[in-house]
Amino acid sequence: MGVPRKPIEPPTPEASAFLEQAMDQYGKATYNFAYRLTGNEADARDLTQDAFIRVYRAWRSFQPGTSFLSWIYRIVTNLYRDELRRRKGRFQEEIPGDNAPQEFGGQRPLAVDPIEDYLSGQLGEPLAKALAQLSPEQRQVVVLADIEEYSYQEIADIMGCSIGTVRSRLHRARALLRRLVTRAQQEQR
């Protein structure tokens, strides 16, 4: 036999109200952040759902007066890292090299993802494609700094690292992003 499990406590009105308010105010931002990390709708939905389950379970640990978005982004980040560790060793799609044929032969797929279209429209297609080619940590630090506009301290809190690490990761990620965008723009000509 194993260790007896603690019975699940029935939901309290306070916990339910906290979760409902959190989902109403921050659900879309949390999903968008998860989408930018994962790059696909299904994983982003799963990640967002898991994050709000964690919020529900730990709602008492949230410190009023602090940033809820920073707190939930930290939860999303940790869940995403855990998932990446679980997937390690499984097949992961490689990023095509410079001369590799591109998916869809340069044509748009028949199924259109409205979020991807929005990001492409907002960021520009070369930037959206380049962002997708960054590693998860690089993409995360760029999204938090340049899209979500968090301070280095907030990013360090979310990512669980020092400000110096944030600065160096951001510097390397931006340099790589610049090279990828330049290459994508040259390919469009």
Taking the C-alpha atoms of residue 143 and residue 132, their distance in angstroms, rounded to an integer, is 11
The helix-helix angle for 114-123 and 13-38 (nearest 10°) equals 60
What mean pLDDT is reported for the chain? 77
Taking the C-alpha atoms of residue 125 and residue 180, their distance in angstroms, rounded to an integer, is 12
**116 pLDDT higher than 80:** no
DSSP H helical ranges for 7-135 = 13-38, 41-57, 68-87, 114-123, 125-133
Residue 166 is predicted with a pLDDT of 92
- Within 8 A by CB and 6+ apart from 161, the residues are 169
For 41-90, the pLDDT digits (tens) are 999 999 999 999 999 888 888 888 888 888 899 899 889 888 888 877 55
Q: Tell me which range, 4-13, 79-88, 91-100, 168-177, is most confidently predicted by mean pLDDT.
A: 168-177
CA angle 143, 107, 111 (to 5 degrees): 70
| Structural domains of the chain, ranges and CATH numbers in brackets | 11-88 (1.10.1740.10), 112-189 (1.10.10.10)
What is the pTM (predicted TM-score) of this model? 0.59
